[in-house]
Amino acid sequence: MPVNRKNFIKHSAAALIGSVTFNKAASADFLLPVPALPESMGIVDPNDEQYWQLVRQQFPLTKDVAYLNNGTMGPSPYPVIEAVRKGMMDCDMFGNYGGWEATSGKLAKFVGANEDEIALTHNVTDGINIACWGLPLKKDDEVILTTHEHVGNALPWLNRRRVDGIVIKVFTPASTADETLNRITALYTKKTRAVAVPHIPCTQGQILPVKEICKWAKEKGIYAVIDGAHGPGMMPLDLHDMGCDTYASCCHKWMLGPKGTGFLYVRKDFMETLQPYFVGGGSDNAKWNMALKPIPMGEYANNAHRYYGGTQASGLYKGVDAAIDFIDSIGIENIHNRIKTLGKYVQDHLLSFGDKIELITPTEERSRCAVNGFRIKGVEYTKFYTMAAENKIRIRSVAENGLNSLRVSTHIYNNKQEIDKLMQVVANALKG
């Protein structure tokens, strides 16, 4: 059936009607993917609310609450959930085993890497640990991090400090990309071995100038190991162009895939440097044999599979495949533009309160996208978090690193009315 605007709307309306029956029965009726955009429509207008309303119908996410917390958990749309169910059925009905390896190729294409550079993991923390522990670091070697780390990028390095005596140096991200870069380069000493920063810190969602950071790291001969929890799905990515040595991410948040799935990109040439420690089925060339004397081990796999081993959740990875298809059907550029528009809408609203609100996310074009952090003068962040929850709005309070702030993150299932609702609560909080 040719896809035109009318069909698109009809198709998606069917998805809406069907979604009502989701809890009742495993009907396939509602499991329609977002139709591909017709060529003639070209790039979606990020302000085309009708289009985004149709996209919203693809999510079972409750409508009782305004969910503005994608930075913590990215809810999946129906096609992803269905792909997981089907993937599990294939496994559990027919005894099919494996098949998850194919997801590496799909992920690679999605993030601008090669298939052999993608290791499957369960979350960002897995990938960061593989990178952190695999680096050849010794006592007194210095690693640069931010004062805005998530526990997932803080603890592995702090643990390495405890075990191996490395030194952690920190900087606070600045309000411009240039100044952020200056703060990083100012920390450099002869002992600096790695820069281990988030692409987008969880605290206030500012986009760090990772390409420049990686370029600088290369010039200095130090490792660039990036925490990429928030990159994929928020913006188009080309990891080769970024120039990082490793990039750890998850497949839910902005990718909207199943929870408990993730990946680690390891630049092909970097595999000789990054030591695998966690190995098992698939991470070698199968030359080991415990019955021979001496017992041979063989070589590591000639790809990023050397960094993970054993049985994976094939159903979940079918969900990752479906999440990438879902994003592709809308277009990552369209998604990026839409969520950047919503992020700007949040910023403009917050700025309209004047000095009563402290916006902690930069307004600089290249440093902002879908996540905003702020404080309300005279209102405890925990108090406001509770007020928002009472008004059926889910945001995040940011207690880590003593930031004591609030965070709003908006994805494609959100709309301006939900943001208006939040801003009304801000206005009420300011009235006292």
Ligand X SMILES: Cc1ncc(COP(=O)(O)O)c(C=O)c1O
| Interacting residues toward ligand X by CB under 6 A | 72, 123-125, 150, 152-153, 198, 201-202, 227, 229-230, 250, 262
User: Distance between the two ends of the chain, CA-based, in angstroms?
Assistant: 57
Q: Which CB atom, from 252 or from 305, has the smaller least distance to ligand X?
A: 252
Q: Which CB atom, from 153 or from 180, has the smaller least distance to ligand X?
A: 153
Spatial contact of 270 and 243, defined as CB atoms under 8 Å apart: no
- Beta-bridged to residue 371, according to DSSP, are 409
The least distance separating ligand X from the CB of residue 133, rounded to whole angstroms, comes to 15
The least distance separating ligand X from the CB of residue 140, rounded to whole angstroms, comes to 26
Q: How far is CA 122 from CA 80, 257, 279, 320, in A?
A: 17, 12, 15, 12
The Cα–Cα gap between 358 and 376 comes to 6
Using alpha carbons, select from 3, 11, 7, 9 the residue that is nearest to residue 29. 11
Q: Which CB atom, from 198 or from 276, has the smaller least distance to ligand X?
A: 198
Which residue bears the tokens 């050397």? 306
The least distance separating ligand X from the CB of residue 324, rounded to whole angstroms, comes to 17
The Cα–Cα gap between 236 and 334 comes to 10
Spatial contact of 267 and 369, defined as CB atoms under 8 Å apart: no
Q: Which CB atom, from 73 or from 379, has the smaller least distance to ligand X?
A: 73
Q: How far is CA 92 from CA 57, 257, 430, in A?
A: 30, 21, 55
Q: Which residues contact 321 (CB under 8 A, 6 or more apart)?
A: 83, 102, 103, 106
The least distance separating ligand X from the CB of residue 412, rounded to whole angstroms, comes to 19
The Cα–Cα gap between 9 and 137 comes to 56
Q: How far is CA 176 from CA 115, 193, 195, 360, in A?
A: 34, 25, 19, 12
Q: Which CB atom, from 166 or from 207, has the smaller least distance to ligand X?
A: 207
Q: Which CB atom, from 152 or from 282, has the smaller least distance to ligand X?
A: 152
DSSP-derived secondary structure for 153-183? HHHHHHHHHHHH--EEEEE---SSHHHHHHH
- Beta-bridged to residue 398, according to DSSP, are 405
Q: Which CB atom, from 201 or from 233, has the smaller least distance to ligand X?
A: 201
Q: In what order do the strands lie in the sheet with 405-409?
A: 357-359, 371-376, 405-409, 396-398
Q: Which CB atom, from 72 or from 273, has the smaller least distance to ligand X?
A: 72
Q: Which CB atom, from 117 or from 227, has the smaller least distance to ligand X?
A: 227
